Structure 1
Amino acid sequence: METFERARLDAYFANIVGRFLPEERASSFLITHLLPERPGFVRAVAALSDLRAVLPKPKSVSESARREVERCIAVDALSRGLFADPDSALDYIESRAGGERIVLLDVGGYFAPALTDLHDRFSGQLAGVIEDTENGHRRYAGIDKLPCPVISVARSPLKDPEDFLVGQSVVFSTEAVMRGRGDILHGRPALVIGFGKLGSSIARLLHAKGVQVTVFDIDPVRRAQALAQGFAVARDRESALTGAGLVLCATGSVSLRGEDFGNLRNGAYVATVTSSEDELELGTLPEVYTRTKVGDHVTRYQTTGHYFYLANGGNAVNFLHGASVGPFIFLVQAEILSAIRMLTRDDLAPGLHEVAAADRAAIAATWLSYFNR
């Protein structure tokens, strides 16, 4: 970022922090994509809470951002395994914030498997969780009885611009990867798996580029929406895969399992909008497939009579080019900051919650005063 851009961002976050300053501070843990612009948000989280550690998502770390954050805040390694086991999760949280009141800021439901144990066994108090993504929202919603408040911004109207622009960046990066091998989008029928906010954005941009698009979604309501918007809608996954020369996975859960890959037509490209562990079951792919790196960010999977290409190892393809959505990401980050104050008030019942509409409106008005110039 340019110096003046950084100064404007810091001024914006200072305004947001002043508006949502909690009466009592809690400690916090922050899972985030540690992208180049992210230190400003990290500093804002630290201004509203005692930030004990930043845990960057492994496939989206800017080394310059890491170095900047590490000067004043601990940066720890993140994996699904760390919080999949309640004992290891508890040991980690105790080592950083034993006996304290804590808020967990999540991206993708990492804390969900250990949440009940953390709530019941932690030596301090778990005030609650703030979740940023649809995938994570589903993970927390799937817990039979949430032990604490979980504030989700995944379905906030302030997130709509981000979701739309992420879809655009996915198409941009997919096309760039293909062009790096001398291939292009045109002439390849595309299949978009998942017709939520991201999937619908991807489908619309591909269509605008003149690409033939088919949509598959397990939700019949979304299939009807796709049909109404002029897209072909597949009746089943198998037949859809057979005809696709490009497959974009945008479900936030498992899009392709081991048996699905055999249905891909020869030479098809596969790209995702999130991590491979969420979208693809590559571990169940038959061992007869050999894996060969055939480009900077492309792996060919091949067996006798069949081959396909996987972009960026199955991880979010848009992170190859920074995954930037411009200043619109700061709307969502401000909403996350406002949620910290909600949790520290200690008046929310266990369960899923949203930020109040009045707070969202105040955030949008503040954002417009800084970035609509």
Structure 2
Amino acid sequence: MEPFERARLDAYFCRIAARFTPAERPTSFLITHLLPERPAFVRGVARVTELRALLPKPKSVHAEALRQVESDGYACDRLTRELFGDPDRAVRYLDMRAAGRPVVLLDVGGYFAPSIEALCTRFTGRILGVVEDTENGHRRYADLDKLSCPVVSVARSPLKDPEDFLVEQSVVFSTEALMRGRGDILNGRAALVIGFGKLGSSIARLLHAKGVRVTVYDIDPVRRAQALSQGFTVAHDRAAGLGDAGLVLCATGALSLSAEDFPRLRNGAYVATVTSSEDELELAGLPDVYERTTIDEHVTRYLTTGHYFYLLNGGNAVNFLHGASVGPFIHLVQAEILAAIAALARGALDPGMHEAGPADRAAIATTWLDYFNR
């Protein structure tokens, strides 16, 4: 990022923070993809909260971005599912970092969800609420039997639509780039897209526009019907779709391929995901008879007698190989996260799922246009 771009971005977040900084700044814990543009957002969070710890998602840490946030003085802790999957451990962690403080938890993917009730009832401070950035995380909170605090989700915000549109393009771009590096192309290939939500449906359309024969599978029969109405072939079950696919793109945000699914892949098939391997793929359950060989920097061949397939980027989000850049549009939803923090700090939201209001979204979009529509 050029110096003038960095200055403009910091100025944008200063203006957003001036609008949304609460009268009493809460403490925050921030889970985030630590991509090259992310330090400016981290500084924005630190303007509206007392940022107690940054927890970068482990498979998306850019070395220079990490150096920047550490040089800015922000503590970086190691993020694992186990850290917040164990309520006792989660409570101890928050008490170590922010005992007695009012806290906002900024999430990407529902990491805090398994321990949220314990954090709300046993933490020595007070959980003001959670801000969730992804559809996967939105569902993890919405599926809980009871929410003990408010959760403001930006996953379905109209301000996130531009980001989602560009993420879909970057997924297809990165998948094709890795395949081309091995002399393969998308055109004429049969593909299976697992998951026909916002991301999966757009990826299916992009692949189709590139001359790919696309089959769709989704566990939701309503989405299967939607895919059929849009002209896609719809697999009756996952196994039926796997046999013919030269490319399998996993876009569920949950488990797409279990261990028993991998032997059903056709020989030479490529497998790519839009989220992390721990969410989409049961790689740990693969039989030891598969020999794993790195044949290109980001392509791993899984080989056993009579069967082989290729895994892209170790099963992690394939678009992160090329920065997962969506340009300045990411800053729309980042600003909405700051607005959500302010809403939680005011303390007027009941436990349950919430969204930002239209007035806040309009103000964010107006400010964004002032800085980036030039």
TM range (shorter): over 0.9
Matched, 1:117 2:118: yes
Between the aligned partners of 2:95 and 2:26, the Cα distance in structure 1 is: 15
Is 2:56 the partner of 1:56? yes
Answer yes or no: is 1:299 the counterpart of 2:300: yes
- 2:135 corresponds to: 134
Q: 2:223 matched to 1:208?
A: no
Partners in 1 of 2:268 and 2:62 — Cα distance? 32
Contact preservation (8 Å) 2:13, 2:335: yes
Question: Given that residues 103 and 126 in structure 1 are in contact (C-alpha distance below 8 angstroms), is that contact kept between their aligned partners in structure 2?
Answer: yes
2:229 aligns to what?
228
Secondary structure at the residue paired with 1:170?
helix
**What corresponds to 1:32 in structure 2?**
32
Does structure 1 conserve the Cα–Cα contact (< 8 Å) formed by 2:273 and 2:316? yes
Amino acid at match of 1:159: K
Counterpart residue number, 1:157: 158
Q: Deviations over 1:298-329 (max 9, x none)?
A: 11111111111100110000011100011110
Following superposition of structure 1 onto structure 2, how do residues 1-373 of structure 1 map, counting pairs within 5 Å?
1-71=1-71, 72-373=73-374
Paired with 1:231 and 1:162, the residues of 2 have a C-alpha distance of 24
Aligned equivalents of 1:220 and 1:20: distance in 2?
A: 41
- The 3-state SS of whatever aligns with 1:262 is helix
Q: Residue deviations 1:42-100, cap 9 Å, x none?
A: 00000000000100000101111111111221011111111111111111111111111
Unaligned 5+ runs, structure 2: none
State how far apart, in whole Å, the 1-side matches of 2:225 and 2:3 are: 47
Q: TM-score, normalised by structure 1?
A: 0.98
How far residue 228 of structure 1 moved from its aligned partner, in angstroms, is: 2.2
Distance in 1, Cα, partners of 2:369 & 2:258: 43
Contact 2:87 2:114 in 1 (8 A): yes
Q: Answer yes or no: is the 8 Å Cα contact 1:160–1:197 preserved in 2.
A: no
SS in structure 2 of the partner of residue 307 of structure 1: strand
Any conservation in 1 of the 2:31–2:55 contact (CA below 8 Å)? yes
Superposition deviation, residue 2 in structure 1: 0.9
Q: Deviations over 1:241-265 (max 9, x none)?
A: 0010000000000000011111111
Q: Secondary structure at the match of 2:264?
A: coil
Instruction: Tell me the matched-pair count.
Output: 373
- In 2, distance between residues paired with 1:194 and 1:363? 31
1:10-40 CA-partner distances (Å, limit 9, x unpaired): 1111111111121111000000000010010
Q: 1-side partners of 2:65 and 2:293: how far apart?
A: 32
**Whole-angstrom CA distance in 1 between matches of 2:192 and 2:361:** 35
Partners of 2:159 and 2:236 in 1: CA distance: 33
3-state SS of the aligned residue for 2:77? coil
Matched residues in 2 for 1:202 and 1:372: separation?
27
Deviation at 1:8, TM superposition (A): 1.2
Contact (CA 8 Å) 2:106, 2:132: kept in 1 or not? yes
Q: How far is the alpha carbon of 1:152 from its aligned partner? A: 0.6
* Inter-partner Cα distance in structure 2 for 1:44 and 1:327: 15
**Structure 1 residue identity aligned to 2:61:** V
Distance (whole Å) between structure 1 residues aligned to residue 33 and residue 284 of structure 2: 25
The alpha-carbon deviation at position 347 of structure 1 amounts to 1.1
Q: Is contact 1:213–1:231 with CA below 8 Å preserved after alignment?
A: yes
Query: Structure 2 counterpart of 1:10, which letter?
Result: D
Contact kept, 8 Å, 2:188 with 2:211, in 1: the verdict is no
- For the 8 Å contact 1:13–1:334, the answer to whether it is kept is yes
Distance 1:279 1:336 in 2: 26
* RMSD, matched Cα: 0.9
Give the 3-state SS of the residue equivalent to 2:271 in structure 1.
strand
Counterpart CA distance in 2 for 1:190 and 1:327 is 31
SS at match of 1:162: helix
Percent same amino acid at aligned positions? 74
Question: 2:225 is matched by which residue type in structure 1?
Answer: A
Please give the alpha-carbon distance, in whole angstroms, between the structure 2 residues aligned to 1:67 and 1:96.
Answer: 21
TM-score of the aligned structures, taking structure 2 as reference length? 0.98
Using the TM superposition, name which of 161-170 and 180-189 deviates more.
180-189
- CA distance in structure 2 between the partners assigned to 1:357 and 1:99 by the alignment: 33
Query: CA separation in 1, counterparts of 2:271 and 2:212?
Result: 16
